[in-house]
Amino acid sequence: MIIDCHCHLASSKVLPPPFFDAWSRTIQANLPHGLDPSQASRVGQLLRDLNEDPQSVKLIAEMEAAGIDLAVLLVIDFGVVYKDLEMTIEELHLEHRKLLERSKRFIAFSNVDPRRGREGLELFEKAVTDWGFTGMKVYAPCGYSPSDKRMFPFYEICSHRKLPVLTHVGPSSASLSFKHTSPVSVDDAALNFPNVNFILGHAGVTLHRQAARMAQYRPNIYLDLSGFQAEAMRGQFKNILKWHISRGLSRRLLFGTDWPIHRFWGSQKRWVNEIKQCEKEGILSAEDADNILSANMKSLLGSNEAQ
Amino acid sequence: MNETALNENQLAAKEILSELCRKNLNHDYLAGEMKLFEDLGVDSLQFIRLILEVETRVGRKIFDVETIANLKTVDDLYGLLATV
């Protein structure tokens, strides 16, 4: 069984246009020579095209080709930072629920911005109690820390229901805040909730040394590798993986792709094969590869896992 | 792909790619089987530049998410431009 621990439903309802528009501006700013207006517009269009799979038809096809049995869809509550979104946060959860009912290939993690107060907490509880959500996503780029005290009631529920929490680490769209996105931002939460397992999204590759230090010393911290595609293309990923393995983190690393964000760099199959190639080259043992692709996430999902 | 058989758009793509790779390579020759990232050292921004410049030169949209995802070698690029 292969599990992709980090995916999103590719739709403007889920990842809204301002997210991509700011990303497009970042790319334009980083290109060594400027773009003419039509090229600038084309960059924006190509990025928005990544996000055109509202029924997850392409995602399912890629999962089948890659041998991925299960993908975790992460809800992000952008409602406090972006205005004029297509859906309310409740509708967004129900949109994911429809997909869960249609396909056993997916599970979903709920996310409600803690600044929504009591109503938000109740929505989260409903999502994990009645709507089949099996974990929690925390999206710090929306401007709150994963260790914010307002998060603690959510973690109480996660602790009680044995639900994992996946929190974003590292930069994001330029329209959002990076203030609370360092690996250490999760420390108070992980310290106060030792029974809750925290997955640091992208931290297997983003700020990976700092993140690995957290994982080495906190047994309830895991590192997801999503975003490794860029490192793989730069030829750095294998070295990062060797580094983690040499520090005994085989049981803390999780395979993830962050679909649809990295679709330009290759299909799900390519990224599963990248891990398998590491096994062939002796960078990973067979057990390491199985841990990363399957066993670690399976263990985190525990009895809540979709079989 | 035979160098002499390249069409006008493929030659334009070769020229753009050579220009982009100038910092990474000490030669101008681009073999068809060369991988854009591993062999030519194209980085993600150069890759985006390549796509934009090729489309600008050809004067129409050539790429979509799937074709970009499958663009690994120089020949992949020539293949996309074979019938344009």
- Over residues A118-174, the pLDDT tens digits come to 999 999 999 999 999 999 999 999 999 999 999 999 999 999 999 999 999 999 999
Contact between A43 and B37 using a beta-carbon 8 Å cutoff: no
In chain B, how many domains are there?
A: 1
Q: Letter for the amino acid at B51?
A: I
Between the CA of residue A209 and those of A122, A182, A301, B23, B70, what are the distances in Å? 37, 11, 26, 30, 32
Contact between B48 and A27 using a beta-carbon 8 Å cutoff: yes
The domain ranges of chain A are 3-304
Contact between A46 and B63 using a beta-carbon 8 Å cutoff: yes
Q: Letter for the amino acid at A172?
A: S
Q: Is A267 on the interface with B (CB under 8 A)?
A: yes
Calpha distance B44→A26 (Å, rounded): 13
Interface predicted TM-score of the whole assembly (ipTM), two decimals? 0.88
Nearest CA in chain B to A45: B64
Q: Is the dihedral of CA A246, A247, A251, A253 positive or negative?
A: negative
Q: List strands edge to edge, sheet with A221-224.
A: A3-7, A70-74, A106-110, A135-138, A165-168, A198-201, A221-224, A253-254
Q: Which residues of A touch B47 (CB under 8 A)?
A: 264
Calpha distance A159→A195 (Å, rounded): 6
- Pair A152, A136: CB distance under 8 Å: no
Pick the CATH number of A3-304 from 3.20.20.140, 1.10.3720.10, 3.30.300.180, 3.90.420.10: 3.20.20.140
Per-residue pLDDT at A307: 39
Per-residue pLDDT at B24: 57
* Structure confidence by residue, pLDDT tens digits, A272-295: 999 999 999 999 999 999 999 999
The whole-chain average pLDDT of chain A stands at 95
Contacts of B8 (CB under 8 A, 6+ apart): none
The structure tokens 């990248």 sit at: A274
Per-residue pLDDT at B23: 57
- Residue numbers of A between 30 and 69 with CB closer than 8 Å to B: 30-33, 35-36, 38-39, 42-43, 46, 49-50, 52
- Pair A69, A26: CB distance under 8 Å: no
3-state secondary structure of A42: helix
- Pair A178, A171: CB distance under 8 Å: yes
Calpha distance A54→B61 (Å, rounded): 23
Contact between B37 and A32 using a beta-carbon 8 Å cutoff: no
Closest Cα in chain A, distance from residue B55 (Å): 9
Per-residue pLDDT at A306: 43
Of A32-36, A288-292, A300-304, where does mean pLDDT reach its minimum?
A300-304
- Pair A6, A166: CB distance under 8 Å: yes
pLDDT bucket at A303, cuts 50 / 70 / 90: low
Closest Cα in chain A, distance from residue B67 (Å): 9
Which one, of A140, A114, A148, A112, lies nearest residue A128 by Cα?
A112
3-state secondary structure of A98: helix
Per-residue pLDDT at B84: 78
Contact between A46 and B37 using a beta-carbon 8 Å cutoff: no
Range of the structural domain that residue B76 is part of: 3-81
The whole-chain average pLDDT of chain B stands at 86
For residue B65, give the CATH number of its domain: 1.10.1200.10
pLDDT exceeds cutoff 90 at B44: no
* Structure confidence by residue, pLDDT tens digits, B49-77: 999 999 999 999 999 999 999 999 999 99
Contact between A31 and B38 using a beta-carbon 8 Å cutoff: no
Contact between A49 and B65 using a beta-carbon 8 Å cutoff: yes
Closest Cα in chain A, distance from residue B53 (Å): 8
Q: Give the mean pLDDT of A94-117.
A: 97
DSSP secondary structure of B6-56:
--HHHHHHHHHHHHHHTTT-S-----TT-BTTTTT---HHHHHHHHHHHHH
- Pair A4, A258: CB distance under 8 Å: no
